[in-house]
Amino acid sequence: MRLIIFILGVVYAGAAQAGVIYNWEQITPSVGGQSFKAQIEFTNEAYLSGQADGRYRNDLDGSPARCQNSLNSSQTVICTDTLDIGVMAFSFEMSGPIDNFDIPSSLTQWDLIIDAIFGATLTGSRLSLNNNAQSASFRILSGDIWSVFDVGSDKSVLSCNTTPEICEGATGRFVLDETTIPVPAPAGIGFLIFGIALIAVLKRTAE
């Protein structure tokens, strides 16, 4: 009985994942010689849905919302429909110290644009995050190959906007870390637990 409970505990522990991680694997460095590292962590729910897309933004109160640009001349960003954006963390490294975007706990303003399809590698069209102090943007080239469109940080004097050769020519893939794939609880496990408990009770009664 104790062994069965232990096994069930292991099953549940395996199902409890923090998030699904995709790591940047570089194919070519930029023409300026810069190398990049990046990691994106998605929620299990987003991964299991198969894709994440939209534009999202949070203000200082930390509440995320779907956004769109208005059609007026000021191009004001309008946000509605508070929801889960599906991204837990986004980090990058550009030939130097790593900068982390911890979205849920961040009190700074950020603006995320994402169009991603989940698989063994990440496909889609765009990944872009800006929180005023840091920014990183990747665009799809073809298939599952992405280009580094823009990377910048207040912690670094380097920026792809001011020095285009930093990003130009840099390509890579976002590859799934298979050890982070969520393991759904087996169907009917509740009935299994109930059945085991019932057998134990009947056994004790019979004794």
pLDDT of amino acid 5 = 36
Q: Count of H helices and E strands in the chain?
A: 3, 12
Q: Which residues, in sequence order, are CB contacts of 188 under 8 Å at separation 6+? A: none
List the one residue out of 30, 192, 147 whose CA is nearest residue 95.
30
Residue 86 backbone class (left: φ over 0; alpha: ψ -120 to 50; beta: rest) = left
pLDDT of amino acid 129 = 82
| Pair 120, 42 in one domain | yes
| Pair 97, 164 in one domain | yes
Residues of the chain with pLDDT under 70: 1-17, 59-62, 68-78, 80-84, 95-109, 132, 153-158, 184-207
Bridge partners for 192 per DSSP: none
Is the model's pTM score more than 0.95?
A: no
| Pair 133, 114 in one domain | yes
| Pair 82, 175 in one domain | yes
| Pair 174, 189 in one domain | no
pLDDT of amino acid 1 = 47
What is the total count of domains within the chain? 2
List the one residue out of 42, 11, 37, 7 whose CA is nearest residue 25.
37
Tell me the C-alpha distance between 32 and 141, whole Å: 19
| Pair 54, 13 in one domain | no
Bridge partners for 36 per DSSP: 94
| Pair 85, 108 in one domain | yes
| Pair 139, 49 in one domain | yes
Q: Domain range spanning residue 156?
A: 19-182
pLDDT of amino acid 145 = 98
| Pair 119, 205 in one domain | no
Cα separation values, 102 from 1, 33, 78, Å: 42, 28, 23
| Pair 7, 88 in one domain | no
**102, 89 in Cβ contact below 8 A?**
yes
| Pair 102, 73 in one domain | yes
| Pair 133, 189 in one domain | no
pLDDT of amino acid 136 = 84
Torsion angle, alpha carbons of 106, 110, 115, 116, to 10: -20
